Amino acid sequence: MFKRELPFLNRMTNSNRNSVTRVWDEKCDKGWAQLMNLEHEIAVNYLLAQTGIEIPNNASVIDVGCANGWVLRKLVDEYKIAYGLGLDLSNKMIEEAREKSSEYKMLDFKVDGWEDIVKYSLQHGLFDVILGVESIYFYGSVVDNIRNAFNSLKDGGYLGLNIECYNENPDSFKFDERVGATLLHYTIQEYLPMINDAGFKIENIRSFKCHYPLEREFESWLNTYGTLIIVAKK
């Protein structure tokens, strides 16, 4: 299929795979996995229940950037998925995910990232759903991440993305300072062709204001502009 060249693809970040691992290992030691569960759950609940994303019973799901695996445990408990694969570049996050999920025999956790999902779809078979909750914009190529998701999904499968760091959310640049990296902040209008050109049909897109009872001023991006939520179907 002809792919047009998107003019913004050369956006750069100073992160690489090793620096993402180092930063998130440190954050894991500081208890961030649990904190992110609290901070992201309202928007994840919206993604799962209000956007039209379909997660059938017995679904197979990849959660890329899974941290301690809380989204997959929620999907087992509430959606009865049959199999979940959590990938994260942080060794410590994956250790914590395995510890917390010891009772969940249908969940696997691996130290790997967006660029590795095709490998798992070849081993396991194509997946029903791929989720990326605040993980697609840390380094590398967002376009390639989206194409990898397309190639790893069954026909009719869904990609669900939650994205706090996007260009229309100026407060989200404070998060770059917080993690000490330049992240890939795209505009909403830049995300759309990346997803369409990969072959997806966009089913839902919105900025979801969490109205989270924030104690910290620097998290204003959650309430003021909100989380960009995109649902696309193969």
Ligand X SMILES: C[S@@+](CC[C@H](N)C(=O)[O-])C[C@H]1O[C@@H](n2cnc3c(N)ncnc32)[C@H](O)[C@@H]1O
- Which positions lie near ligand X, rule CB under 6 A? 20, 24, 36-37, 40, 64-67, 87-90, 93, 113-114, 133-135, 138
> Can you tell me the distance from the alpha carbon of 10 to that of 65, in angstroms, rounded to the nearest whole number?
23
Longest CA–CA separation in the chain, Å? 49
Identify which of residues 60 and 90 has a Cβ nearer to ligand X in the complex: 90
> From the CB of 149, what's the least distance to ligand X, in Å?
12
Nearer to ligand X, 59 or 94 (CB): 94
Contact assessment for residue 234 and residue 67, using Cβ atoms and an 8 Å cutoff: no
- For ligand X, the closer of residues 60 and 135 by Cβ is 135
Minimal distance, residue 135 CB to ligand X, in Å: 4
**Tokens representing residue 133 in the block:** 């909750």
Q: Minimal distance in Å, beta carbon 2 to ligand X?
A: 27
- Give whichever of 88 and 128 is closer to ligand X, judged by the CB atom: 88
CB 75 to ligand X: min, Å: 13
> What is d(CA 226, CA 106) in angstroms, rounded to the nearest whole number?
33
CB of 116 to ligand X, least distance (A): 8
Q: Toward ligand X, which CB reaches closer, 134 or 190?
A: 134
Q: Please, where are the H alpha helices in 32-165?
A: 32-50, 70-79, 91-100, 117-124, 142-152
Q: CA of 172: how far to CAs of 18, 130, 158, in Å?
A: 23, 24, 26
The Cα–Cα gap between 124 and 106 comes to 13
